[in-house]
Amino acid sequence: MKILVTGGAGFIGPHVVDALVEEGHDVVVVDDLSMGKREQVHPSARFYRVDIRNRQSLEEVFRAERPEVVNHHAAQGNLRRSMTEPSFDASVNIVGSLNLFELALACTVRKFVFISSGGAVYGEPQRLPVDECHPTWPMSAYGLSKYTVEQYLRLFDGSGLDYTILRYANVYGPRQDPTGEAGVVAIFSRQMLAGERPTIFGDGTKTRDYVYVGDVVAANLLAMTQKRASGRSYNIGLGREVSDRQIFELVRSAVGATLKPILASKRPGEIDRICLDASLAKTELGWEPAVSLEEGMARTVAFYRGQDQRSAISH
């Protein structure tokens, strides 16, 4: 199949691209490189430096490539920026996604996989773990934009665009940007390996659900091929509440450090607790996580340790 992956130079997108290439698919990547890196794109994939808000440039890609499947990972993912610049967040996450929907319909794309956020769209949970039937009440502009796109997809249901929505827990693993606002595992890993004390926002009791990037890739491959996934939303997570303090301690253990965290004020728009029930993905997609949190942390720290060693050798 010919598959177009947006955000294919970022964190999760390149892992998906690698897996698709390995399976023998013809892969096209669209990324504006505002957050991604060109060197992370598989050499066998064709790359277009395009902002998904640029309708004309995006249309040229669709006309040239005629993809059968679109895997949409590109997004403005900075929660704090979404609160200070909601119009920018909406321009990328809503308008950019609508450009893709319209072009997918015009080019008779067979399948559209949209990446949403479990932690952001549900808001503060009424019960745990949160399943797909839980009420949605986003507490950030980022969560609202993701949920809005979900609603647009449902509005298009019956128009011929076969879609599946994946609501991720906190994804972590190799290649995540340790200098960004999100990605606490990458941030803690790089800081502790450098002998720096990481900052925990809040008192350390805030919880999230985490899932290793390799398991997320597996969910994407299944969503693209399973017929019963049509028009469905799936939570993708471990189904385990993990506190910020626990993440700190797991990373510290993997690094072999003795550092203590710096505590700072909780950031606006963040929920206190979340944990996703992914049993529907197991039942309908045949997906379940294969990598434990402890193993995933060890792999991630090993990746950044290796990066640091290669950087030291090159200098």
Question: pTM score, two decimals?
Answer: 0.95
* pLDDT per position as a tens digit, 111-169: 999 999 998 999 999 999 999 999 999 999 999 999 999 999 999 887 888 999 999 99
Q: Which of 12, 7, 3, 38 is nearest to 218 (CA)?
A: 12
The structural domains of the chain, ordered by start, are 2-171+212-236 (3.40.50.720), 184-207+240-310 (3.90.25.10)
Residue 214 has pLDDT above 70, yes or no: yes
Over residues 5-30, the mean pLDDT reads 98
For residue 67, give both structure tokens. 């993809």
Q: Which of 6, 220, 217, 240 is nearest to 130 (CA)?
A: 240
Over residues 250-256, the mean pLDDT reads 96
Residue 3 contacts residue 26 (beta carbons within 8 Å): yes
* pLDDT per position as a tens digit, 215-224: 999 999 999 9
Residues, the chain: 315
Residue 311 has pLDDT above 70, yes or no: no
Confidence of residue 310 (pLDDT cuts 50, 70, 90): low
Identity of the residue numbered 111: K
Active site (catalytic) residues: 142
List the single range of 11-20, 239-248, 279-288, 301-310 with lowest mean pLDDT: 301-310
DSSP, res 128 = S
Residue 269 contacts residue 80 (beta carbons within 8 Å): yes
Q: Kindly tell me the sign of the dihedral angle through the C-alpha atoms of 186, 179, 235, 220.
A: negative
Q: Is 177 exposed, middle or buried (0-12, 13-18, 19+ CB in 10 A)?
A: middle
Residue 195 φ/ψ region, left for φ over 0, alpha for ψ in the -120 to 50 degree band, beta for the rest: left
